[in-house]
Amino acid sequence: MQLDELKKSISTLEQVFAKTSSDININVEASETAQKKILKKYRQSFTATAVLAVVFAASWIGNVNPAAFPTHIRAFLVIYLVMATVWYVFMYLKLKRVDIGSLAPARLFSATTTIRLLTLTGEIVLGIGLAVFFTLFLPNLLSVRPLAFWLCVATLALSCLWGVCYLWPKYIRLFHDLNTIK
C-alpha cells in the first residue's frame, strides 16, 4: 500500500518537473511597457516628494505660520519627505537596472519579486510615517483651526479611498504585467 502511494507521488512529482522544465517565454514588449510605466510612477513620486521637501524646508527655515504648523511638525515632515525621495530614487534605479529582454525568466521573476517586495515594504514604512505625521498634526490643527481640521480629514478620507479603489489596482496590474508570459 505504501509502495503504491510512493510510486504515485513520484509520478506526480515527475509530471510537475516536466512541466516546469519546459521553456517559458516572457512577453518582452508587455513587460517593458509595464517597466516604463512603473518607472514613470517612481519618477513622479520622487519628484513630488523632493519638491514638497524643498517647500516645507523653506517654510521651516522661514518659520511661516508656526501656530497652525509648528516647527517640530515641519521638521518631521521635511525629514520624512527627504527619506521618501531617497527611497523612490533607490527603487527607480533598482528597476531601471533590470534588463527584461536579456534576463532568463527565473532571474527576471526573482528581480521583479524583489522589487515588488521592496516597493510594498517601502510603502508600508512610508504609510506608518504618514500616520505618525497626522497623529502629530491633526490634534494641533483641531485646536488652532477646526474648519481646516475637518477639511483635512475629509481630504485624507477621499485620498485613501481613491488610493485603494483606483491606484492600488493599477500598481498591482503593472507589477503583474512586469512578468507577462507568452
Q: What is the pLDDT of residues 74-104, one digit of tens each?
A: 899 999 999 999 999 999 999 999 888 888 8
Highest mean pLDDT among 34-43, 55-64, 171-180: 34-43
Signed CA dihedral, 118, 120, 126, 131: sign only: negative
pLDDT of 15 strictly over 60: yes
- Check residues 91 and 6 and name the one with the higher pLDDT: 91
Contact 100, 28 (CB under 8 A): yes
Can you tell me the distance from the alpha carbon of 138 to that of 146, in angstroms, rounded to the nearest whole number?
10
Is the Cβ–Cβ distance between 78 and 64 less than 8 Å?
no
| Cell numbers representing residue 106 in the block | 527565473
Q: Which three cell numbers stand for residue 63?
A: 518659520
**Extents of the domains making up the chain:** 26-177
Question: Has residue 16 got a pLDDT over 90?
Answer: no
Tell me the whole-structure pTM to 2 decimals.
0.79
Could you tell me if 71 and 79 are in contact, meaning their C-beta atoms sit under 8 angstroms apart? no
Minimum mean pLDDT among 4-13, 77-86, 164-173: which range? 4-13
Least confident stretch, 1-15, 53-67, 100-114, 160-174: 1-15
| pLDDT value for 103 | 80
Q: Is the pLDDT of residue 21 over 50?
A: no
Q: Are 179 and 33 contacting, i.e. CB atoms less than 8 angstroms apart?
A: no
106: number of Cβ within 10 Å? 9
> What does the mean pLDDT of the chain come to?
85
Residue 159 has pLDDT above 70, yes or no: yes
d(CA 69, CA 14): 65
CA distances from 5 to 9, 12, 34, 76 (A): 6, 11, 45, 62
Contact 175, 38 (CB under 8 A): yes
> What size, in residues, is the chain?
182
Residue 53 identity (one-letter amino acid) = A
User: Which position has the grid cell 527576471?
Assistant: 108
